[in-house]
Amino acid sequence: MLTRHPVGYLLASVLLIKGATFGLALIAMIAVTALSGVEIVPVEAAFFVLVAAACIAGSIHLFRSLSDHPATQATDLMSQTAV
């Protein structure tokens, strides 16, 4: 993502969306477990909240940084690397 390479956007989007959904699922699991009366470890719960929040923030940043014409950028990048 930092070098604006197309493969980086592909991998980053998969990783961030997967991390966000996994983190949210774990938060839901922890909430249901706590509601059923099982004692939970607050440090673990906070860790998963932070992971989910970081992945959601990263996803928002990634999707806001995408341009309207990604095919044009990829073609420009290919022509620059071919030289």
Q: What is the per-residue pLDDT across 3-18, written as a single tens digit (0 to 9) for each?
A: 667 788 888 889 999 9
Residue 74: which pLDDT band, with cuts at 50, 70 and 90?
low
Q: Does 77 or 23 have the greater pLDDT score?
A: 23
48 vs 1 pLDDT, higher one: 48
Query: Residue ranges per domain, the chain?
Result: 20-65
Q: In this prediction, what percent of the chain has a pLDDT beyond 70?
A: 75
Alpha carbon distance 12, 7 (integer Å): 8
What whole-number distance in Å separates Cα of residue 20 and Cα of residue 53?
Answer: 7
Handedness of CA 50, 56, 60, 66 (dihedral sign): positive
